[in-house]
């Protein structure tokens, strides 16, 4: 099951050392592996299972916090604190839907399990609301209020609530930026697109008007951006599928001037297709500013007349993009 990235792993260091261990038991139907891995950036614990799919161990965690639990195929998040006596049951064929916890720490962990399912729905609603600033703002407000209910509930572990509070601050900032971006994108839909005239990897410069008469799918990215690089294989497949159609695929790097050679090397080494351009003033370029771009990757779709179809278009990894292009290019 695909999980959105809004739930950050938080680890809140305690003010004192704890001598106890976490007692952890898991009973898993249709298990994916004979071991479970509990980990954070600085900690790893492997728990071996028996022939019946039961995993039992006692171990000390370096500090209370949310850890990754990997079953060999999928991840879950668990809140662990020394002194917990926690048992988990799950059917690996319905991973997120069936996770249940009992024992000390069950409330925090059942909340995380429930939130994982809520995050999936939230992610779908978020994508559906990206072109509607009011709907997006309402969605974010509901998300914040629901999280604050738990933060203010003293029946939850204090360290857990502190970590959730710190995470919420980061998430609010991220989501507020998305809302602002959606508002800017919504205002541009159906209107003439802001233009550009940028250096082309193959030489000379290229401007938006050079593509008049064709749809233009623009990828705003940078060499240092991990999520941008993850989209490259998907973009290459989309480019291949629509080769020869009335659409141009253009990638605009917003790398800084000092990384100009790094950009050229990456485009060459990875044989990136489409039209490869680099903006003149990175984030501060007029085109970037006009679209209100404050996070990448960002994708834009423009029609043959130069009008904006979607100022915050679907990613290449989203099947909805090809559905949209199939309708436009039929």
Provide the residue-wise pLDDT of the chain in tens; the chain has 330 residues: 333 444 444 544 443 334 589 999 999 999 999 999 999 989 999 999 998 889 999 999 999 999 999 998 888 999 999 999 999 999 999 888 999 999 999 999 999 999 988 887 877 777 677 656 677 788 888 888 999 999 999 999 999 999 999 888 888 877 777 677 667 777 788 999 999 999 999 999 999 999 999 999 999 999 999 889 999 999 999 999 999 999 999 999 999 999 999 999 999 998 999 999 999 999 999 999 888 887 889 999 999 999 999 988 999 999 999 999 999 998
Contact 68, 9 (CB under 8 A): yes
Q: What is the DSSP letter of 215?
A: E
Nearest to 85 by CA among 100, 68, 101, 64: 101
Strand 275-278's sheet: what is its strand order?
205-207, 197-200, 275-278, 247-253, 215-221, 298-302, 308-310
pTM: 0.58
Say whether 143 sits in a helix, a strand or coil.
helix
Cα 162 from Cα 10, distance rounded (Å):
10
Say whether 247 sits in a helix, a strand or coil.
strand
Domain with CATH 3.40.30.10 in the chain: 197-328
Strand 100-103's sheet: what is its strand order?
54-59, 22-29, 85-91, 100-103
The architecture CATH gives domain 197-328? 3-Layer(aba) Sandwich (3.40)
Contact 246, 328 (CB under 8 A): no
Query: Distances in Å between the alpha carbon of 9 and those of 92, 244, 300?
Result: 22, 44, 31
Q: Measured in whole angstroms, how far is the alpha carbon of residue 211 from the centre of its chain?
A: 31
Question: In this predicted structure, what is the pLDDT of residue 41?
Answer: 87
């Amino acid at each position: 099951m695909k999980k959105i990235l809004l739930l950050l792993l938080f680890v809140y260091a305690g003010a004192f050392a704890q001598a106890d261990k976490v007692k952890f038991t898991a009973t898993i139907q249709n298990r994916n592996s004979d071991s479970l891995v509990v980990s954070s950036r600085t900690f790893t614990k492997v728990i071996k299972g028996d022939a019946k799919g039961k995993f039992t161990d006692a171990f000390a965690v370096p500090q209370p916090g949310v850890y990754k639990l990997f079953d060999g195929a999928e991840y879950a998040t668990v809140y662990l604190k020394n002194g917990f006596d926690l048992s988990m049951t799950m059917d690996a064929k319905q991973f997120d839907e069936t996770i249940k916890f009992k024992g000390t720490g069950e409330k925090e962990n059942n909340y995380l399990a429930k939130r994982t399912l809520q995050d999936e729905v939230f992610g779908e609603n978020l994508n559906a609301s990206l072109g509607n600033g009011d709907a997006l703002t309402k969605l974010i407000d509901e998300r914040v209020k629901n999280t604050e209910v738990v933060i203010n509930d003293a029946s939850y572990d204090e360290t857990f609530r502190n970590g959730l509070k710190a995470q919420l601050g980061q998430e609010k900032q991220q989501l507020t930026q998305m809302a602002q971006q959606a508002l800017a994108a919504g205002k541009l839909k159906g209107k003439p697109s802001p233009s550009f005239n940028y250096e082309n990897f193959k030489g000379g410069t290229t401007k938006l008007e050079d593509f008049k008469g064709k749809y233009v799918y623009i990828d705003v990215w940078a060499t240092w951006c991990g999520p941008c690089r993850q989209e490259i294989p998907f973009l290459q497949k989309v480019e291949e599928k629509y080769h020869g159609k009335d659409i141009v695929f253009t990638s605009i790097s917003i790398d800084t001037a000092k990384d100009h050679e790094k950009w050229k090397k990456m485009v060459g080494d990875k044989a990136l297709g489409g039209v490869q351009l680099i903006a003149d003033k990175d984030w501060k370029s007029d085109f970037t500013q006009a679209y209100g771009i404050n996070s990448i990757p960002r994708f834009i779709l423009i029609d043959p007349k130069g009008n904006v179809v979607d100022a915050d278009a679907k990613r290449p990894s989203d099947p909805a993009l090809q559905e949209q292009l199939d309708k436009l290019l039929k």
